[in-house]
Structure 1
Amino acid sequence: MDKFVESAWFVRIVALLLTVLLYISVNFSDFQLLQKADKSSQNNSEVITDVPVQVYYDTENLFVAGVPDKVKVELSGPKSLIESAKRLRDFELFIDLTNVSIGKHRVPIKYKQISDKLKVTVLPEAVDVTIEEKVSDYFVVSPEFNDNMLAEGYQEEAVSVDPKRVKVTGSKSALNKIVYVKATLDVKEKVDKETTGTAKVQVLDSELNKLDVKVEPETVQVSISVKNPSKKIALRMFPKGTPPDGIKIKSIKPETEEITIYGKESILKEMEELVVPVEVDGIKKDTTLTVPIEIGEGLNFVSPQMIKVKVTVEGNPESEPEEDSGA
């Protein structure tokens, strides 16, 4: 036995066995790493938003309501395939209604041109749709404008829309519910001159719910003209403050008896005169002052903005007592 252990063959066999064990150990570790990497690559998941949905149906004779414009898609699998799908977006989500009858149905959202190595989940997976006979009609558009967007003192004179009528296409039941077809002009700055802008047409029922219909054109031009009403009113001056002792304010007369003010008609209608205070503190003799004309809420301009006022006094200011110098 000792001779066999010491022989060259024994050494060779042991070396061979060690080599085989080392080889198995190294390759098994690599295999585990590959398994982990492959498993990791399969665990990637990402949601793609705003994916449009294509609908296949008889567009000439039918109208479909209830299909969302865009949905979400969750993709799970190798990261490289997910990234490619996100970047290229060469896949399609669709609903096939070519053989579906008129009425209400719950239908799945299908997909195509996505790698079979990816797990695909459409959010939502199915939707409720209503298929009806298509009808079209023309409706007059009512232009609207928020008065809160008018500059101070201005008021709406006229609002117009172009075109005045739009074509509305949808199901017969939807068109029967139409009560309002309107376009509201939205502006970013206060309006003090004629303004035109683009407004989206809204089709609403009696409870102001938006109806699922198609509008042609979808937007219209809304124009608003404004006016700045004016009125001539009398001026009335009154003294503010207290003149020196011995001085009495005899009269306060402005160089003009009336001014023109601009503002909302509802406010101008109530105004007959504008009371202007004149500061008389310290006035000891006849004086001409320049007084600013201040206006209140609902008014936006006055002409003139400054007026000259002649203040006439009578009496003499009392002299201050001399200080006693003492003995």
Structure 2
Amino acid sequence: MNKKRKQREDRREIKENLVEKYSKVERAFGRFYKWISVWTDRILFSQRYGKLVALLLAIFVYAVINISDDASSLFETRQVYTFYSQPVNVLVNEETYEVSGIAESVDVQLQGDINDLQMIRQQNNISVVADLRQLGEGSSEIQLEVQNIPSRVEVFIESGNVNVVLKKKVTRTYTLGYDFVNQSQMDATYDLGEPQFDSDTVNVRASEDTLDQVSYVKALIDVSGVNSDFETDAPLAAYNENGEKLQVDIIPETMHVKVGVTQPKKTVPIQVVAVGTMEEDLAIETCTLSLDEITLYGKQSVLDQISSIEVSLPVSGINSDRTLNMPITLPSGVTSASANQVTISVTVGERTSRTFSDVPIDRTNVSDALADKQIRMSDETVDVTVYGSETMLQNIDKEDIMVTADLKGISENGETTLALAVSGSNRLVEYDLSIDEITVTVND
């Protein structure tokens, strides 16, 4: 009971405190309102301040009634927006005149109400125009114009005043060349033939000064993905001596062309070449290849120079029968081949030798200057000792061995000492000369 009585007394005390605070706030607000009311009456109904109040009210009414367009512009939302790299549309008789001095594009700055600028940006149809239709040959200063812009929007053009030069065009005839483009997107095993054009010449129209810069005119033939004979209309372009494209009129603009496409190939034998030296008493007895020949692909001019493909066999580490997978290195200009490696199986036998007597010495690289001179060599033949296995040596004849003396650089009378070189069709044996050099004498 005492506890409940105490809670009622606490609630009563809180209410009394709230009422007291509210009464204080109400009295303070009443005093403030009374103070404002007194001062308002003093100002509005006092002779001292009445005239001032009347003047202020008159000025306010006048401003509201007589507000002008200029004043209302203070409340407008104005903005500046720049259209970058706007193309310049040149109005001119292009068949008669060549134009210079006008930039391909300019920056256009617009200033106006934000709503107008937003509309222009959405429509995106402004046009910068250089109207030269009333001009003749020579130099003139013009003003670039911007079209499709509301009159209430201000326009500013970077480099708006342009000094333009008009030159009359003339026509010259040029021989047509060509370039194959996008060859990287063409199968490298195919070879392109000589293009056959409907016409080997074209007319180029431009000013005299520009035509003097033209070094050649080419048809740009796109060969991406071609794998058979094709025809196309190739675009034409004119270039100066530095390979820079010139802005000229080419008549016609394209040229019809036919191009033959072939896939040259050649099958040649694979020849194994020993690299290094085997142990003193050992030699290659037999050598068997998984492939005896290989098919090469490339330009016909390259294939014509190839008679065989050499594969290196490192013999210095071979002292017993072995099987090795060796890579095939393609000659320069060969784009692909039917194989990229070959398996070589070798057996090892005892090393022996065989001597071939009186192998003739051939002269190489004899210059035209020696055509009418007498050339004598101190030795016309030489003995050659061949080292290898008995099986290998039995298959070698004197005709398989070539000894040469290189006369390159000799053009005058006199004596010259030359080193001899020896080689043979079998590249798995060693060749040794009885003499290493000879003396060559040249006389009239």
Q: TM-score, normalization: structure 1?
A: 0.64
Aligned-pair RMSD on alpha carbons? 5.0
Contact 1:290 1:306 in 2 (8 A): no
How many angstroms apart in 1 are the aligned matches of 2:172 and 2:305? 48
Partner of 2:97 in structure 1?
63
Higher alpha-carbon deviation: 45-54 or 14-23: 14-23
Match 1:131 to one of 166, 183, 208 = 166
Larger radius of gyration between Structure 1 and Structure 2: 2
Partner of 1:319 in structure 2?
none
Q: Does 1:100 align with 2:132?
A: no
Partner of 2:45 in structure 1?
13
Unaligned runs of 5+ in 1: 316-327
Letter in 1 for 2:96: L
Superposition deviation, residue 252 in structure 1: 0.9
How many angstroms apart in 1 are the aligned matches of 2:268 and 2:133? 74
Partner of 2:145 in structure 1?
110
How many angstroms apart in 2 are the aligned matches of 1:61 and 1:235? 64
Contact 1:278 1:291 in 2 (8 A): no
Give the 3 Å change call, closer, same or farther, for CA 61–306 of structure 1 in structure 2.
closer
Superposition deviation, residue 148 in structure 1: 7.0
Look up the SS of the partner of 2:135 in the other structure. coil
**Deviations 1:105-145 (CA, angstroms, capped at 9, x unpaired):** 23221234422322212233133333244445665532212
Partner of 1:253 in structure 2?
288
Look up the SS of the partner of 1:86 in the other structure. helix
Letter in 1 for 2:328: E
Give the 3 Å change call, closer, same or farther, for CA 194–76 of structure 1 in structure 2.
farther
Partner of 1:324 in structure 2?
none
Letter in 2 for 1:13: F
Contact 1:235 1:258 in 2 (8 A): yes
Q: Does 1:45 align with 2:81?
A: yes
Give the 3 Å change call, closer, same or farther, for CA 274–89 of structure 1 in structure 2.
closer
**Deviations 1:202-256 (CA, angstroms, capped at 9, x unpaired):** 2234555544433355445666545444444333235689999x98641113476
Look up the SS of the partner of 1:158 in the other structure. coil
Match 2:328 to one of 266, 272, 294 = 294
How many angstroms apart in 2 are the aligned matches of 1:277 and 1:87? 71
Would you say how many aligned residue pairs link Structure 1 and Structure 2? 299
Letter in 2 for 1:65: V
Q: Does 1:72 align with 2:104?
A: no
Give the 3 Å change call, closer, same or farther, for CA 279–90 of structure 1 in structure 2.
closer
Partner of 1:202 in structure 2?
237
Give the 3 Å change call, closer, same or farther, for CA 78–187 of structure 1 in structure 2.
farther
Correspondence list, 1:230-309, <5 A: 230-238=265-273, 249-254=284-289, 258-264=293-299, 267-268=302-303, 270-277=305-312, 294-296=328-330, 297-303=332-338
Look up the SS of the partner of 1:106 in the other structure. strand
How many angstroms apart in 1 are the aligned matches of 2:81 and 2:242? 42
Look up the SS of the partner of 1:115 in the other structure. coil
Partner of 1:83 in structure 2?
118
How many angstroms apart in 1 are the aligned matches of 2:324 and 2:195? 42
Superposition deviation, residue 74 in structure 1: 1.6
Superposition deviation, residue 81 in structure 1: 1.8
How many angstroms apart in 1 are the aligned matches of 2:274 and 2:103? 71
Q: Does 1:119 align with 2:151?
A: no
Look up the SS of the partner of 1:80 in the other structure. helix
Superposition deviation, residue 95 in structure 1: 2.8
Unaligned runs of 5+ in 2: 1-36, 351-444
How many angstroms apart in 1 are the aligned matches of 2:200 and 2:297? 33
**Deviations 1:44-98 (CA, angstroms, capped at 9, x unpaired):** 232243334241x4x3873141244443322122222223223334554333334
Look up the SS of the partner of 2:310 in the other structure. strand
Identity of matched residues, %:
21
